[in-house]
Structure 1
Amino acid sequence: MESFRLRFHNFLSFHLSIIAKIFRWLFSSLPTIKRFPLFVPFIDAYISLLFRFANLSPCTLDLDDQTTIHFWAPNHRRYDKPNLVLVHGYGGDAKWQFMYQVKSLAESFNLYIPDLLFFGKSYTTRKERTEEFQAKCVVQGLKELGVRNCSMFAISYGGFVGYRMAEMNPQMVEKVVILSSGVGCSKDQKEEQLKKIGRDPVELLIPEKPEDLHVLVNLSIYKYNHFKWAPDYFLQEFIDMISRTYLKEKQELVHHLLSNHTDCRLPILNQETLLIWGDKDRVFPLMFGYQLQRHLGPRAKLEIIKNTGHAANIESPDSVNALIKAFILPQSKDL
């Protein structure tokens, strides 16, 4: 099923690219008309519908007079379902990264999906750029939504934030799932990995032009690259509308992430923790998963998804969703 869906999306993306190129050719012959975003707003609206069909609605919370955080939260919370928080990484807001998770996971959980600060509609005028501050803001938002206990699923950069959430709030966060994250890497390991990649991390994570986005996607995806057939016009739309908002602040987040601060004296979590890794991950190779598992000790286990890269939530969503459910839900509950 997973393979069929991904092949279908690859097939569909090819034909959509043909349509996009036709539109591009038509618009190029009308230079006096101001060009406007066309494809990305349409896809963004479609993803929003997926979230709404999963019983989720957007809400914006003012945490104080300087900080605003945006969530997708349940329309009606079911008290017979556990709460699950999904924490995204770089590469767009929460909608674009969890579009393959919401339908499946909403069947078993009350989902709470924040946009981290400087992604989507979340923003602060404060100067903090730490994962701890991101974690505090998410937790404060959850409490204002009435969430007192939850489990957590976090990917990539979100893993750094989610780890701090679990560390600082052991009474609230019950179980932790981390997907393909560099939590616990030393500064030397980060620098060595960047040398292998051969690109400036700011340029890589915050692309300026279509070629940069192609590099990022090719690095993250191993099997089916949905952007392979996308014309530059579409990619530039995505960059301008999704990736380039709050540019300065996102750059500061990257610089902090690469500093010594994030790898010094990493605490051991009290919660049971599931680590999920693609065996073909080229951003945070599998060795980092084994390293984090050793650090966490017997309360952590590592699940490896074959023939999958860094973006396992996109490449192997059925496998990821099944692992999350099996780990968090009571064994007697029907999956």
Structure 2
Amino acid sequence: MTGEPLRVMQSFRAPRATTNPYITMLDDALADDPTIQHRRFSWAGALFGRYDVFHWHWPEGKLHGTTWWKSAGKYALTALLSLRHRLSRRIAVVRTVHNVELPDDNTARTWLLRRIDAQTDHRIVLNTTTRLPAGTPHTLILHGHYRDWYAPQLHRDRVPGRLGTFGGVRRYKSVDALVAAYADAVSIEPDLTLSIGGRPSTPELGDDLRRRTADLAGVRLQLTFLSDAELVELATTSELVVLAYRFMHNSGSVLAALSLDRPVLVPRNEVNESLAREVGRDWVLMYDGELDGQALVSAWRSASRLRPGDRPDLSLREWGDAGTAHADAYRAALANKRPLEAAARPAEVLA
């Protein structure tokens, strides 16, 4: 089937309203590329369908159901899919390295995730600092911005003194550390306020956050999943978006804030240093060690000096070429999987 588009199956289904915008925008970009036949995930298609490339995003998401028996069933199906990929000499496996470490999970799930990782023929990294073993086939495709995605929403004016944070509330995101730093910061700048938006990963985490903020003035909690309109309102009314994560590698929340022309305060690491050089150091402010009130106030003072209309430089993160870049990565993966075919027909698209 020389010259026909590559058949590429993604690990994600048709996007919904609550789907990560990165996936939705990637879905659109892939659908627009004429050199690939873009297929969304289904168990029947993945296990029995014909495709040339399978592209994993967050494979751990395939291992969990709403009940123990659904989780067991999904584990069995994922194991069968992994077995199909291991036995196939024609299906290339691509994985986007969204996270550098495997998630904490039980022994069986961790074993299967390691097996999936070992079967990967080609990796896509989203930033220049992702570390891979020497000689690992990979392609760099920078995480795209969200400017077009949020353009339909109402962008509001900054509220003087407003700090904001958004995204799913999880322990590694250290919202508790932000609250403690805010409590110190208002003793220095009493006019500061704080908006926190996002759904807690557990009810206990939400209850703990309510207790921590009960006696703090100026704190607004919105502990639910934020719609696009709600996220844009929270971010654009903030003079500074604070993301006090214990570990940060590929953060969609950072890019969301920058796409809405709001500076971010993040922990200092190699990834964020690189991002600051790329988009402008006035937009990516960093702290060392644990976040404290003085660091929070200092970053807010810097952020408040930005003028209305100033924008970070996101020119390297346009979505226009994302489909083409992924298609090139798929062809490279397939050439690695089928080297004899690639050598025989180097100018042709393998199918």
Question: Which one has the bigger helix percentage?
Answer: 1
TM-score, length of structure 2 as denominator length:
0.30
Q: Which has the higher contact order (CA 8 A, sep 6+)?
A: 2
Pick the structure with greater CA Rg: 2
